[in-house]
Amino acid sequence: MKTSIKTSTSSMTAVPKPLKFLRPHYETLTKLQEDWPEGDDKTSLADVLSVIGMTFSDDERQDTLKYRLLAPSSDIISWGHEYSRHLALEIGEVYGKRIVADEDTKDLVDLALILVPTFLQSNGEADAVDLMSELEIIEQLPNYVDENTYARVCLYMVSMVNLLTYPDNELFLKTAHDIYITYKQYTQAMVLAIRLNDIDLIKADFDKAQDPALKKQLGFLCWGGFSRRAFSNWSAMLWLALPGMIMIQAEYMAFEVLTLFSSRFGASYLAAQSVLVTLTAISYQIPFPISIAASTRIANLIGAGLVDAAKTTGRLASFYHRDQESLFMVRIAQGLLHMGKGTMSVNPFHTDRQVLSRVSAGGILAVLVAMIDAKSFITSDSHYLLYFLVTAMHPRFLVTLGEDLKPLKVNVRVGQAVDVVGQAGRPKTITGWQTQSTPVVLAYGERAELEDEEYISLNSTLEGLVILKKNPDWEGAK
């Protein structure tokens, strides 16, 4: 029966004829299997019933898992990938029921660990990670990945972190970090160590790198250097520091607390677009203090460095030309939009928007609180609070360097970033690209990749300062 079912059809869409003939007899076969004495025949029948139960049995019975446990086998993949996925689904359902009932789950874990290698071998990294996550054994995943699967596994795990809560999110990051360290991907590991905010782990990763050029690249990831804009007009800052601290400590208003809660809004594209449209309309309709906050937030939160936001603030400037204080705030917004002639931006995220800088986020949040009542703060005597934005200012360009840290001009493709998590094969990570020579400015949502393999990037993301190393296997010149 097993041989007939496996070989009856080669089509992925056609149902094998033996299964069609066995469907009316499914209940009879299950009763027969229970009545048979222990032996190889009973085990083989349970193996067949496990496959038939995938489509014929009641979902509440979990017959696929039930008969698979009665017929242990390491050759589960011979029944096909869909059977393995259905079995993994039932393992997760039964595991949850046993946890609630405080029953043993060792047999489920052992069966799951048989399925994990089959998933990894058939480009089912997402299924493997989901199964181990459901069974709370994700820390065992490094034992099953190899040099061909670790990159896709870690990419999927890191993408899941944003959907998890503590402590699962940190467990996923630590597991992915350990996998990267095992395969000597130190830049990816350093990014995860920074996300974990673990100083000891960051130091350990830095010490493990032996290549001097790689150490320099890790240094660029950990610290971006000083900004000259943080050292301008210090005289005004110093004599206003103490009064400013007293004023900040004295202010405690419910409206400001609500502003802190508003920082929990998601940063997805649709949410940002909704806020932009709403604030743009409100800025023309509501009283002076709130219109100041609305017009400036368009630049601070959404539009720093974007052309569309610059057009919006330009229209606001013509609307507020009679109100000097409102016009002053609009000019501030325009200044944020045109920082460095478009080469700088205000963004707390870096490394392909994977890592949140807590210092940068704190600086932006401080300015947002002041913008709640801009008339009493920014347009009054506390304009120095705008200096907090310096913590989130950074260049938007990509600069490639040689191992000696001298500028190295190479061709790169710059295009819109594409999410390739869970996609089979080696899909393109950018679309609609244009070939340019470094240094190059990257707009929001854009990603860069090297045009050819003449150089090897020591950083996993082409962003900011990137050190390139000559590829010893490059034969393009020949």
Residue 301 pLDDT > 50 = no
Angle CA 406–443–418, to nearest 5: 105
Contact (CB, 8 A) for 168 and 439: no
Which two tokens mark 51? Answer: 């496959």
Contact (CB, 8 A) for 213 and 469: yes
Residue 349 pLDDT > 70 = yes
* pLDDT the model gives residue 171: 93
Contact (CB, 8 A) for 67 and 53: yes
Residue 131 forms part of a structural domain? yes
Range of the domain at 315: 251-394
**Range with the poorest average pLDDT among 60-74, 261-275, 425-439:** 261-275
Total domains present in the chain: 3
Q: Are residues 372 and 428 in the same domain?
A: no
Express each pLDDT in 384-428 by its tens digit.
888 888 888 888 888 999 988 898 999 999 998 888 887 777 788
Q: Quote the CA–CA distance of 395 and 264 in Å, as a whole number.
A: 26
List Cα–Cα distances, 467 to 120, 213, 354, 398, 440, in angstroms.
33, 7, 20, 11, 15
Q: Are residues 104 and 11 in the same domain?
A: yes
Q: Are residues 278 and 414 in the same domain?
A: no
**Range with the poorest average pLDDT among 10-19, 239-248, 291-300, 438-447:** 291-300
**Range with the poorest average pLDDT among 186-195, 337-346, 383-392:** 337-346
User: What is the identity of the amino acid at 472?
Assistant: P
Choose one of 140, 165, 190: the last residue of a domain.
165
Choose one of 374, 394, 414: the last residue of a domain.
394
Contact (CB, 8 A) for 407 and 399: yes
Residue 338 pLDDT > 80 = no
Percent of residues in the chain assigned helix, strand, coil, to nearest 5:
60, 10, 30
Rounded average pLDDT over 110-125: 88
- Sign of the CA dihedral with 96 first, then 101, 102, and 104 last: negative
pLDDT, mean over the chain: 77
Q: Quote the CA–CA distance of 72 and 63 in Å, as a whole number.
A: 14
Residue 267 forms part of a structural domain? yes
> For 355-444, where are the E strands, in sequence order?
355-356, 393-395, 397-401, 411-417, 430-437, 440-441
Q: Quote the CA–CA distance of 140 and 307 in Å, as a whole number.
A: 48
Q: Are residues 330 and 362 in the same domain?
A: yes
Confidence of residue 172 (pLDDT cuts 50, 70, 90): very high
Cβ neighbourhood burial of 462 (10 Å; 0-12, 13-18, 19+): buried
Give every CB contact of residue 220 below 8 A, 6+ residues apart in sequence.
459, 464, 465, 467
Q: Quote the CA–CA distance of 72 and 92 in Å, as a whole number.
A: 18
Rounded average pLDDT over 447-455: 88
Residue 188 pLDDT > 80 = yes
Which two tokens mark 45? Answer: 């029948």
Q: Are residues 375 and 403 in the same domain?
A: no
On the CB side of 356, CA atoms within 13 Å amount to 8
* pLDDT the model gives residue 237: 60
Q: Are residues 284 and 375 in the same domain?
A: yes
